[in-house]
Structure 1
Amino acid sequence: MQKPGTAPAQGPDSPKPADAAPAPDNTPIVPEAEFDAALPPLSGDLNAPLEPMPADAAAAPAPTTADPAQAPAQAAAQQPITPGTLPPAPSQDPQLAQPLEPLSTFNTAPLQTVADPASGDQPDVRYASEVQGLDPLGLTDEFDSLSALKKGGGKADNATQVSARAREDEQLALRLMKSLGYYDGTAVATVETVAGTPAKLRALVTASPGQQYKLGSVTVKADATQPPELVRRELPLKVGDPIEAARIQGAEANVSLRLPQQGYPFVKLGERDVLLDEQTGKGDYTLPVDTGPRSSFGVLRTEGDPVFDLKHLNVFPRFDQGQLYDARLTDDLREALVATGLFNGVGVEPVRTGVTAVDGTEQVDLLVRQTRGPAKSLSGSVGFNTGEGIKAEGNFTNRNRFPPEGALILGVIAGTQQQGLSVGLRRQNAGKRDRTVSLLASANHSSYDAFDAFTGTLSGRVSYDSTPIWQKKFTYAYGFELVGTNESVFDFDKFDRDRRTYGVVALPGQVLFDTSDDLLNPTRGYRLKLNVSPEVSVSGQTKPYARTLIEGTAYYPVSDSLVIAGRARAGSIFGIARDDIAPSRRYYGGGGGSVRGYGFQRLGPLEPVASLTPDSSGNVDRADLRPLGGRSINEFALEARYRFGNFGIVPFVDAGNAYESSLPKGSDLRIGAGIGGRFYTNFGPLRVDVATPLNPREGDGKIALYISIGQAF
């Protein structure tokens, strides 16, 4: 029976009964229950690692392929890899095994193309630049000094670079206008070709300032101070002031500077706030200030590599414990320590202690951080003066050989007319700040026209001195000298030179009042100095006497580059005849520190002409007359010091003389004039002066030259 809806195949191509396809087997290959059992359990965690493959699954035979030709390859692919059975690696190309050549062997020159010509001499773009609108504000000069267009020098690689510079200057103009309170200002930069010259451009920056904003209110947010409103008083801003950046910043800096000088060392300024009103053109200014505690001085502390212990450190402060804190006194302490020259670095800063004093201030200690510096130094100088010859001086100093601040100083003088050795001991800040105690022993030989002397000296000195960092109005010095000297002296009885030995005991003293603005190169102020030295001379007889010298100098600045300087000096020796005084302790005029144009120590009384031996013609050369020195002297000098940069020109005129009398005279003044050059360095000016005598005596030279360090006075 056939199934309904089907019919048997008929015809020549119908399948034969033997070739008929077997009936389909609808039996499932794997039962559904067995398939579900073979599935691995599934985890609900999606981030869980994969489960390992079961061992029986790994060992399951690989499926077969229906294509017999692929069977061997497939079988080989299914075989597990056994160590040691990998096929050999294919042979490498020998070229690949060679090391890479160094980069330096390659030609790195870029390829030449039409768009990139080999020649680097491409024509520059030339341009002119101009700014408009800033002149009424006085900003044109400042704009030009900062302008990118101006710095380019009118040349650029291309027009794009000119445009970029113009955009920078556009922003510069805006910043400058805002710095003066023109916050609504605008600036436009344009770059255009100059008519008739296509290769040249014109860059124009046009500024429009708009309205200037001014302070509508000034508010300070700070805790109560003593005295009240201290912060507001030290903030020099008032309603109606233009809101200029420099004005605002300067006022705030004044608060930071002045409050620590009045008891508030820890003041901190907050972020300022300026609220602008476009309708009124006003700005409301608010400044928060944290004043910190009102403080007084406590004690010194120290840390670091100590140069001084606390005992010596306490010599330097100019304040007492409990005194209201003043930052200027803290700075003064720091500068005094720096002036010793014994530190590589030194810092002084206030440190809070939390201790409240009786007056309600908080005690603030000063922490001194020390970093030891080199104590040894070498110094030297070389100079030349007509009549004095060449003189070179050298010193070796160990400034802390005997702590604290006990210095050992070895000196040498080598010159054509002076030679000497010295050894000195010096203690600075000896028990008191800026007090110096020194002891010096020296042996010297001086050979001048006035005298030839072999001198030994032992001297001591106590002084209160100025320093380059702290110049004082009033200073003083006193001490003693023990001098033994053998000198050539003119003997009027023999009418010839003879040698005589002198012993001198002296008690020199000096006071100086100084209002000048600089120790080495003053430009304003004046100085008054008085020297007094009671002395006793022993040479066969004991002769007491006194040497005095008074000197005044003044400096007046005519302009920033011109200073008029003047000097007057007078000296006297009382109580002894001139010929009883050792020649080296008499007064002489002439030379680089006296009346320029005349030889060193040549002014004053001279030997009698009769002491000279006439030549074959019966004439004598007055230049051979040697000075005798005197008991008094007067000198005057006037200079016009014109400076340009590190150089200067100084015309000058000097006058003076030395006299046999004990009081100087106003007559018989010798005058010299000349011109000098100055080269200003950080340690003082280098001086070269050329002078000539205006009323010379017979035998005086025509020209005198002086080379040294420092001004003449």
Structure 2
Amino acid sequence: MTGRHYWLAVALLATTPAAAQLDQQQGRAPARGPDAPKTDPAVQQGDAPIVPDSEFNASLPPISGDINAPLEPISAQPNAPATVNTAPVQPDGTLPPAAAESPELAQPLVPLSSFDTTPLQTAADVKDKDAPEIRYETALKGLESLNLASQFNSLSALKQGKGKAVNATQVAARAREDEALAVRLMKSLGYYDATAVSVIETQPGADAKTPGKLIATVTGTPGRLYHLSSIKVDAQPVVPPDLVTHNLPLRVGDPIEAARIQGAEANVSLVLPQQGYPFVKVGERDILLDDVSGQATGAYTLPVDTGPRARFGQLVTTGDPVFGVEHLNVFPRFKSGDIYDSRKTDDLRDALVATGLFRSVAVEPQRTGRVDADGTEAVDLLVRQTEGPPRSLAGSAGYSTGQGFKAEGSWTHRNLFPPEGALIGTVVAGTQEQGLSGTFRRSNAGQRDKTFTAIASAVHQSYDAFDAFTGTLSARWSRVSTPIWQKRFTYYYGGELVGTNESVYDFARGDTVRRTYGIVALPGQVEWDTSDSLLNPTRGYRLRLNVSPETSVNGGISPYVRTMVEGTFYYPVSAKLVIAGRAKAGSIQGIERDDLAPSRRYYGGGGGSVRGYGYQRLGPLDPQGNPVGGRSLNEFALEARYRFGNFGIVPFLDAGNSYESSLPSASDLRFGAGIGGRFYTNFGPMRIDVATPLNPRPGDGKVALYISIGQAF
């Protein structure tokens, strides 16, 4: 259509000679009245066309179907009329000769698709790294008394410039930004009449050769502090009636402080879903300020759409079928019909995440329209499952004096036998211990956090106390704490079948011999835990009792009972200092020590016992100076755990021993002392302890080193 309009203009100019004459007589109105010149009657009637349609259509150029094609030069267009010369007409009525056509104008236009849109670089855009730089200082007035200085400094454009600018204009622009920042900060505290101004001054230099500095001063004037004159909540009736207002911690007379009001509204959004209202929506607040009366006040109105009061309905699922609905129902800690609580919904999601079988998992309340007799609505929980990789590799390593270096690696398939039937292969490699084991583990077996475990293992252990090749088959049921649910009461029980060939010192023969033992055991444990953390407790206590009825077969059958009781406490002296203590006692009843397999006896010493002494070196010794273990044990420990940031220092004192008798005594205690370092991570502290024995025996080392994960107890 652009081409059509162009040629229409050309046609009108070419067929109307009067147009050129009119151009020379601008500003003169046409003559009217009896003296007006006579015109052609045909033209006066207005019926004759200026250009016949056939002539007009013939003059039009062809139109291409490609709208992105470049325009053709005028000279190349077919049926193109002669170029119109708009130069002034010569006195003899003829047009001057046409000017020479520019070759550039005759070229086709560049297609838009290939047009270079890069802006041209100007002299103002050139960044000269050698350009002079001015220095300035920032001063703040009026905000210190409102405790806003630190917030201002963290957000200030002047401060972010670090006292450097290209010119004074840039400093002034930053100062204007900081004016608005100061006003915004003061308004956030309720000073809605606040104003701020900035002044740029020049500080003279020390001499003529030293350039002066600029000082940018931002001054804030808070004005009057506005307070709440009324508080109104527009919401549906709720149960209890004051549920919304009670959880909106605002009172008439409070300053209209942005952070406090936002926090109060967020509390409503948080608490109502915990009290049966999963679909609550807090609307946009309205604060009507009164700046006319003598007191600066504001009327506060908050709309709240509470939605229906709800009860838990059923679990439904979508996505990858990692778990069916039957197994999903093992995880909730609520029953269908309980009042809805978002914390229990979050707990369900956390428990599913802890299985390690999901790439992503979400639990969302869904309205059902099923209304109970009390007016509450049943809400189903939709579990969206996205399957993750079921296999994983893990490894750990540690070192301690007496046990040497020990590394452990494992391969796990967490869902080889659905649901949650895991197969685990483990390899242990160390200077004094090597072994292989295979484990079948059924997690959440019929009850959340209840686990069934079956283990087959073969281990070689070579220590000063004994050298043993041991094979074990065991099965155990347990209910233990997890990182997302630390339980007060935990337990395990099971059975073990052990075959072991061990070196043992025979006091009758006066020599070390090897003997083979067959052992059947029924171990069990109960624990009561009030501490605040599994890996790094700072308060509370733990009590643990282990009982294992066992029978040893070595030429005869010898039944006996192994017991152990242990208690730990944690007392926070301050936010940085925790005092931790431990006491432990063990006893074996019903068998003589020398009839026990050495690996089933009690030993003291090492990183988890009395630090400073070698692993298993406390207790009776044979004539060669090697420990032989005992039937009883006692241990005590005291630590002062001082933490600063992610690091900590822990001085400690340990004591204990093992005894040949079946009951421990307080005599002949061995003491060890030392100091440890801690590096705290999100999964627990890294521990390095260095200890020395305070009353060593011949053969005990002077220093012992322990490196591991987690606190000593």
**Would you say same fold, with TM above 0.5?**
yes
Is the alpha carbon distance of 1:211 and 1:55 closer, same or farther for their aligned partners in structure 2, counting shifts above 3 Å?
closer
* 1:11 corresponding residue in structure 2: none
* 1:693 corresponding residue in structure 2: 693
**Structure 2: tracts of 5 or more residues without a match:** 1-38, 61-78, 83-100, 108-119
Does residue 304 of structure 2 align to residue 295 of structure 1? no
Partner of residue 219 from structure 2, selected from 198, 206, 211: 206
Q: Distance in 2 between matches of 1:77 and 1:566?
A: 105
* 1:25 corresponding residue in structure 2: none
What amino acid does structure 2 have at the position aligned with 1:639? E
Does residue 125 of structure 2 align to residue 142 of structure 1? no
Contact kept in structure 1, 2:59 and 2:80, CA below 8 Å: no
* 1:68 corresponding residue in structure 2: none
What amino acid does structure 2 have at the position aligned with 1:638? L
* 1:239 corresponding residue in structure 2: 252
Does residue 466 of structure 2 align to residue 451 of structure 1? yes
The farther-off stretch of 646-655 and 248-257 is: 646-655
* 1:185 corresponding residue in structure 2: 194
CA-to-aligned-CA distance 1:30-65 (integer Å, 9 cap, x gap): 9968998993599xxxxxxx944499999xxxxxxx
Kindly state the Cα deviation for residue 121 of structure 1 after the two structures are TM-superposed.
3.5
* 1:266 corresponding residue in structure 2: 279
* 1:313 corresponding residue in structure 2: 328
CA-to-aligned-CA distance 1:321-376 (integer Å, 9 cap, x gap): 11111111111111111111111100001100111112221111100000101110
What amino acid does structure 1 have at the position aligned with 2:492? A
* 2:341 corresponding residue in structure 1: 326
Secondary structure of the residue aligned to 1:143 is helix
Contact kept in structure 1, 2:194 and 2:220, CA below 8 Å: yes
Kindly state the Cα deviation for residue 110 of structure 1 after the two structures are TM-superposed.
9.4
Contact kept in structure 1, 2:316 and 2:382, CA below 8 Å: yes
Kindly state the Cα deviation for residue 684 of structure 1 after the two structures are TM-superposed.
2.2
CA-to-aligned-CA distance 1:278-319 (integer Å, 9 cap, x gap): 222221111011111111111111111121011111111111
Does residue 381 of structure 2 align to residue 366 of structure 1? yes
Does residue 468 of structure 2 align to residue 461 of structure 1? no
Q: Distance in 2 between matches of 1:453 and 1:536?
A: 19
Is the alpha carbon distance of 1:136 and 1:39 closer, same or farther for their aligned partners in structure 2, counting shifts above 3 Å?
closer
* 1:73 corresponding residue in structure 2: none
Is the alpha carbon distance of 1:575 and 1:132 closer, same or farther for their aligned partners in structure 2, counting shifts above 3 Å?
same
Is the alpha carbon distance of 1:158 and 1:564 closer, same or farther for their aligned partners in structure 2, counting shifts above 3 Å?
farther
CA-to-aligned-CA distance 1:555-582 (integer Å, 9 cap, x gap): 2233333322222211111121111111
RMSD of aligned Cα (Å):
3.0
What amino acid does structure 2 have at the position aligned with 1:189? S
- The percentage of aligned residue pairs carrying the same residue is 68
The farther-off stretch of 117-126 and 356-365 is: 117-126
Contact kept in structure 1, 2:233 and 2:302, CA below 8 Å: yes
* 1:591 corresponding residue in structure 2: 606
Contact kept in structure 1, 2:59 and 2:81, CA below 8 Å: no
**Structure 1: tracts of 5 or more residues without a match:** 1-29, 43-49, 59-75, 80-89, 97-108, 613-624
Q: Distance in 1 between matches of 2:535 and 2:260?
A: 36
Does residue 407 of structure 2 align to residue 392 of structure 1? yes
The farther-off stretch of 335-344 and 157-166 is: 157-166
User: What TM-score does the superposition give when structure 2 sets the normalisation length?
Assistant: 0.82
* 1:377 corresponding residue in structure 2: 392
Kindly state the Cα deviation for residue 712 of structure 1 after the two structures are TM-superposed.
1.2
Write out aligned runs for 1:4-153 (5 A): 39=48, 51-53=53-55, 120-153=129-162
* 1:569 corresponding residue in structure 2: 584
Secondary structure of the residue aligned to 1:454 is strand
Does residue 266 of structure 2 align to residue 253 of structure 1? yes
Is the alpha carbon distance of 1:401 and 1:36 closer, same or farther for their aligned partners in structure 2, counting shifts above 3 Å?
same
Secondary structure of the residue aligned to 2:415 is strand
The farther-off stretch of 662-671 and 328-337 is: 662-671
* 1:3 corresponding residue in structure 2: none
Q: Distance in 1 between matches of 2:162 and 2:132?
A: 15
User: What TM-score does the superposition give when structure 1 sets the normalisation length?
Assistant: 0.82
* 1:548 corresponding residue in structure 2: 563
Contact kept in structure 1, 2:466 and 2:599, CA below 8 Å: yes
* 2:667 corresponding residue in structure 1: 667
Which structure has the bigger radius of gyration? Answer: 1
Secondary structure of the residue aligned to 1:207 is strand
Secondary structure of the residue aligned to 2:346 is helix
* 2:643 corresponding residue in structure 1: 643
Write out aligned runs for 1:491-506 (5 A): 491-506=506-521
Q: Distance in 2 between matches of 1:157 and 1:635?
A: 71
* 2:434 corresponding residue in structure 1: 419
Secondary structure of the residue aligned to 1:692 is strand
Kindly state the Cα deviation for residue 480 of structure 1 after the two structures are TM-superposed.
0.8
Q: Distance in 2 between matches of 1:36 and 1:116?
A: 65
Secondary structure of the residue aligned to 1:162 is helix
What amino acid does structure 2 have at the position aligned with 1:681? T
Q: Distance in 2 between matches of 1:156 and 1:78?
A: 62
Secondary structure of the residue aligned to 1:401 is coil
Is the alpha carbon distance of 1:524 and 1:122 closer, same or farther for their aligned partners in structure 2, counting shifts above 3 Å?
farther
Does residue 600 of structure 2 align to residue 581 of structure 1? no
What amino acid does structure 2 have at the position aligned with 1:697? R
Is the alpha carbon distance of 1:77 and 1:497 closer, same or farther for their aligned partners in structure 2, counting shifts above 3 Å?
closer
What amino acid does structure 2 have at the position aligned with 1:138? N
CA-to-aligned-CA distance 1:402-445 (integer Å, 9 cap, x gap): 00000000001011110100001000000111100010000011
Q: Distance in 2 between matches of 1:316 and 1:685?
A: 30
Q: Distance in 2 between matches of 1:535 and 1:34?
A: 130
The number of equivalent residue pairs is: 621
Is the alpha carbon distance of 1:151 and 1:567 closer, same or farther for their aligned partners in structure 2, counting shifts above 3 Å?
farther
Kindly state the Cα deviation for residue 597 of structure 1 after the two structures are TM-superposed.
0.8
* 1:676 corresponding residue in structure 2: 676
Is the alpha carbon distance of 1:358 and 1:607 closer, same or farther for their aligned partners in structure 2, counting shifts above 3 Å?
same
Kindly state the Cα deviation for residue 191 of structure 1 after the two structures are TM-superposed.
1.6
